[in-house]
């Protein structure tokens, strides 16, 4: 992206206009003197000293303006044709290869962590309040999807609408619930508790997970910097540290950075499939096989913390210094807020390298995500 200093360009344009006006004044003065000279010889002799004084001033001013214009022209060309030098260099190291954990391992991790936290998978703990508004079902295909913000939700909803046979694979924009209802998708709102439990028991249930820190950074960019929500009294946006320090504030709730344990109730709903954005290509193929679908999911993992999304999705670049600037107390607070999500979904935070990790041990002792 090329940016140009607006003040520099304005100065350049004003300088060029001033130079042109200087030439016009000289030409007009010269023409007036020639006219006077043709009518009165004495007038020329009378005006000659004053003329030379004015010409000397005009010439000196013109030379100074010409030099200034030349310098601004050189600077303008530098800004126009040279790429912007980012404060942080783009990471060029080879990407980390993430091995995809099988579903049995991911689901067992959720169960084990929930058992340790004494939150067994049981329908008796289900909430039937407003939280269920993010649960989307396809009653014909018997599929249930927990919609979590900042996990590629638009692409996954498009996938379900295609699966219902209502739209093609082309470009698709997020639609209102009314459109989704016509496409055969429904939110679990105002549904009888027993019917909800039946759906949980008989439907194919899946969830899409993403590292909490990446969701948090993406939410900060979208909801705070880009959209301008939660601005300060002077209109400025809170920095990432201030934003992160308020995550445990009850007056600061938002679906963009909410918890899986609250919204998707991962310790009360036994999900059949756990997709991860970090391994979404493998997971989408495997889920298609599990439900017998041939719909192509047009989504890939991109990282708001990266200048280049194709490199290692776990090393911070764009937001790396923001994370480094967070105080240990604030970082501990963030980790405490997302502790349950990180443990159940197999995510960690590397304090030494200031980067997020997705690691779990497979049955052969290897590391997978």
Contact at 8 Å (CB) between 12 and 72? yes
Where are the domains positioned within the chain? 6-81, 103-368
**C-beta atoms surrounding 5 within 10 Å:** 12
Q: What is the pLDDT of residues 140-172, one digit of tens each?
A: 899 999 998 888 888 888 888 888 877 666 555
Q: What is the pLDDT of residues 16-42, one digit of tens each?
A: 545 455 556 656 665 665 555 555 555
Distance CA 261, CA 134 (A): 13
pLDDT for the residue 57: 74
pLDDT for the residue 344: 94
Q: DSSP labels for 16-58? A: HHHHHHHHHHHHHHHHHHHHHHHH-HHHHHHHHHHHHHHHHHH
Distance CA 290, CA 284 (A): 10
Radius of gyration of the chain (CA): 32
Q: Is the dihedral of CA 219, 222, 225, 227 positive or negative?
A: negative
Q: Which residues of the chain have pLDDT under 50?
A: 1-15, 17, 19, 79-95, 122-124, 128-130, 251, 302-318
């Amino acid at each position: 992206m090329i940016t140009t200093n607006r003040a520099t360009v304005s100065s350049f344009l004003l300088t060029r206009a001033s130079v042109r006006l200087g030439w016009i004044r000289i030409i007009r003065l010269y023409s007036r003197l020639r006219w006077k000279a043709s009518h009165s010889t004495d007038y020329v002799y009378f005006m000659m000293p004053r003329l030379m004084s004015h010409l000397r001033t005009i010439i000196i001013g013109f030379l100074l303006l010409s030099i200034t214009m030349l310098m601004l022209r050189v600077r303008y060309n530098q800004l126009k044709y040279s790429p912007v030098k980012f404060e942080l260099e783009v990471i060029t190291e080879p990407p980390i290869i993430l091995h995809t954990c099988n579903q049995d391992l991911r689901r067992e991790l959720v169960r084990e962590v929930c058992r340790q936290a004494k939150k067994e998978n049981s329908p008796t703990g289900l909430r039937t309040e407003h939280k269920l508004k993010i649960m989307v079902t396809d009653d014909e295909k018997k599929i249930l999807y927990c919609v979590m913000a900042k996990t590629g939700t638009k692409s996954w909803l498009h996938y379900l609408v295609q699966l219902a046979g209502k739209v093609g694979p082309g470009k698709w924009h997020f639609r209102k619930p009314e459109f989704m209802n016509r496409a055969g998708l429904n939110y679990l709102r105002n549904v009888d508790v027993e019917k909800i439990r039946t759906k949980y028991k008989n439907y194919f249930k899946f969830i899409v997970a993403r590292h909490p820190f990446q969701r948090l950074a993406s939410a900060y960019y979208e909801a705070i910097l880009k959209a301008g929500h939660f601005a300060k009294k002077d209109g400025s946006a809170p920095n990432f540290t201030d934003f992160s320090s308020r995550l445990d504030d009850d007056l600061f709730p938002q679906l963009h950075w909410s918890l899986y344990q609250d919204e998707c109730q991962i310790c009360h709903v036994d999900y059949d499939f756990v997709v991860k954005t970090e391994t979404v290509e493998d997971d989408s193929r495997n889920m298609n096989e599990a439900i017998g679908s041939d719909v192509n999911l047009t989504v890939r993992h991109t990282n708001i913390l990266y200048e280049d999304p194709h490199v290692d999705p776990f090393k911070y670049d764009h937001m790396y210094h923001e994370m480094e600037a967070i105080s240990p107390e604030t970082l501990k607070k963030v980790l405490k807020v997302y502790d349950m999500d990180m443990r159940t979904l197999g995510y960690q935070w590397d304090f030494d390298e200031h980067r997020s990790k997705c690691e779990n041990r497979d049955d052969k002792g290897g590391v997978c995500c």
